Amino acid sequence: MKNKPRPEVDPRASQTPASSERLTEDYLRLQRELEELRRSYIALADRHRWVHAVVNILAAEPTAWWQRWLPWRVWYRTVLRKLGRRGLFDAAQYLVFNPDVAQFRSGPLAHALLHGLAEERGGIPAAPEPVAVSALSPALRDRIVASGLFDLHWYRSKNPDVSPNLDEALTSYLKRSSNDPLHDPGPLFSGAFYLIENPDTINMHPLEHYVYYGLAEGRRAFSSSNADEFIKGSAAQRLEQIDAFFDPAKETLVLHWAEGNFFFTDIAAYLADYLARRGYKARRLTDDSALMQEDHNLLVVAPHEYCIHGPGKDWPAERLARAVYFNTEQWHTSWFSLALGVMLRSRMAIDINPASARGLRRLGIRASFVPLLPFESSVFAVETAPLSKQTTARRYVKALTWPQNYDERPYEILFIGALNPRREAILAKLAPVLARYDAFIHSPRLSGPANSTNGNTLPKHDVAQLARNAKILLNIHQGESHYFEWHRLFVSGICEGCVVLTEPCIDTGILTSGVHYLECAAAAMPEMLNHLLTTAEGRARLAEVRANCEALLASITAHGEILS
């Protein structure tokens, strides 16, 4: 189903001279505020560098064994002399500026660290100069370019004085950003955000650290807002057909980590079936070590697991460079950094989310999208059956009836999602409304990979049964990102006849907000739920969305494709 294009409105058409003047004033005010924030951030970064340098000396191990037995006061004087030699702290000077500190029992240095910085006291030396970035060596240049995080067109749009030559522009960025953490290389990576998330990297340029170490270490690098805007801005990127990745003459091995998330096991089984339906010879495996991988196509599910913890961690560079990787992770997470570091090895990826796939393409990775669908006999096609004892032994569940009539479904609201502070706060505010209705809320605290034997995990078969007995599937994002969780919302919700009510999501290009699902801010959910469940207009809206979804599901072919 093709969406009708929305008419474009020129915002200038309705502007009066007075409103134009107000917009100009607002723009100038915001520019001043931004500049003030920039100065404040640089001052904060300076203080952080000073504290980091001082703490490194305080935490240093004694160079000789006997120094460990020095009285505290002797050790303290030794530390003060060392700080003085490096220009980091002068106790006498601090006391001149702050004579009242003489009465502070723990001494001037402790006072400066505990109180002086926050109170902006005098006598604290200037921070050490920022560590200059390494020269633009060929290795550093290649790593930055390969990451896709330096966007020359974007960078020159923000800095028109910069040369169009890539090497000169990169050199300019590295020099300027060493003194200004808010000077960014592109729309996705923020040096300031990276330093805040990873303060121990302060002695190295943020982007240099990320491309050399942060990717492999799984450092969180992208803010939710930057990731969302980057993905939204990738809507025009063209995706590859999955057949472009595989040689039909070779068997395809679909690989996943045996000890990983059980959901990834399902995805691996689905992909093996999906490829077989397309005429490929495909097998699902958890360990490929006994095979001649060069004789096979390789498709790795969840590379942040298989290639970091599983057998793939021992792969040679050549093998990593020819595998195709199936990404499942949201961009603002540390797991995505691990996955991205692996995907950049081959620059071939399939994504669980079409919008995310376009984002990968924008980074220079050949990307495709395979929709997870409950087509007949697939792992996500669940037969109607009673709930398992794993679910019923620990939870009260209403009698499930699987009615043909949507209005007779026993549950009005269904929410399933791991608990975190954000979801906890939103669910607490929703509690008075949820209490008015028949609601099934499953939100356990989980740590580590979810596995099918964990009593706090609902098996996928049970999730499907509950969804078939619920009217509304409620979705609360795990973080501030507006990422569309395809499996949760489409497979577990829309495909089971639920109407999805979610916080705002990034457009996937396949499902449309207001047509195939409903969205509103978390604060508006109580009013929206009451409207949908208690008013004639709301019930009509539910029926309309369900009809739209049924039409979409009817367009799914036997191969599990979505027709336009």
Distance spanning both ends of the chain, measured CA to CA: 5
Residue 463's pLDDT is 94
Q: 3-state class of 414 per DSSP?
A: strand
- Quick one: DSSP state of residue 501? E
Residue 548 has pLDDT above 60, yes or no: yes
Q: Which of 277, 220, 275, 219 is nearest to 252 (CA)?
A: 275
Q: In whole angstroms, what separates CA 110 from the centre of its chain?
A: 38
Residue 6's pLDDT is 42
Can you spell out the DSSP letters for 427-456? Answer: HHHHHHHHTTS-EEEE-----SS--TT-TT
Domains of the chain: 23-116 (no CATH), 138-221 (no CATH), 242-329+338-369 (3.40.50), 389-553 (3.40.50.2000)
Q: 3-state class of 3 per DSSP?
A: coil
Residue 557 has pLDDT above 80, yes or no: no
Q: Which of 58, 59, 49 is nearest to 128 (CA)?
A: 49
Strands 518-519 and 282-285 turn out to be unpaired
Q: What is the mean pLDDT of residues 33-46?
A: 70
Q: Which residue has the higher pLDDT, 226 or 14?
A: 226
Residue 206 and residue 214: Cα distance in Å, rounded?
A: 9
Residue 64 and residue 75: Cα distance in Å, rounded?
A: 13
- The sign of the dihedral angle between the CA atoms of 508, 509, 514, 517 is negative
Residue 25's pLDDT is 80
What are all long-range contacts of 420-423, with beta carbons under 8 Å and residues at least 24 apart?
420/478, 420/479, 422/476, 422/477, 422/478, 422/479, 422/480, 423/476, 423/478
List all residues 6 or more positions away from 308 whose beta carbon is below 8 Å from its beta carbon.
Answer: 218, 338, 342
Lowest mean pLDDT among 67-71, 174-178, 180-184, 288-292: 67-71
Residue 16's pLDDT is 66
Residue 466 and residue 362: Cα distance in Å, rounded?
A: 38
List all residues 6 or more positions away from 396 whose beta carbon is below 8 Å from its beta carbon.
Answer: none
Residue 195's pLDDT is 87
Residue 43 and residue 45: Cα distance in Å, rounded?
A: 5
- Quick one: DSSP state of residue 487? I
Can you spell out the DSSP letters for 34-52? Answer: HHHHHHHHHHHHHHHHHHH
How many other β-carbons are positioned within 10 Å of the β-carbon of residue 456? 14
By CB neighbour count within 10 A (0-12 exposed, 13-18 middle, 19+ buried), where does 138 fall?
exposed
Residue 535's pLDDT is 97
Residue 316's pLDDT is 92
HEC per residue, 251-285: EEEEECCCCCCHHHHHHHHHHHHHHHHCCCCEEEE
Give percent above pLDDT 70 in the chain.
89
Residue 531 and residue 546: Cα distance in Å, rounded?
A: 16
pLDDT digits (tens, 9 = 90+) for 187-202: 999 998 998 899 888 8
Q: 3-state class of 71 per DSSP?
A: coil
Residue 492 and residue 489: Cα distance in Å, rounded?
A: 6
Residue 494 has pLDDT above 50, yes or no: yes
Residue 289's pLDDT band (cuts 50, 70, 90): confident
pLDDT digits (tens, 9 = 90+) for 1-30: 444 444 444 444 455 667 777 777 877 787
Please say whether the beta carbons of 380 and 374 come within 8 A: yes
Please give the C-alpha separations between residue 406 and each of 67, 226, 498, in angstroms, as whole numbers: 77, 40, 9
Residue 15's pLDDT is 54
Lowest mean pLDDT among 58-67, 387-396, 494-503: 58-67
Residue 399 has pLDDT above 60, yes or no: yes
Q: In whole angstroms, what separates CA 305 from the centre of its chain?
A: 16
Residue 130's pLDDT band (cuts 50, 70, 90): low
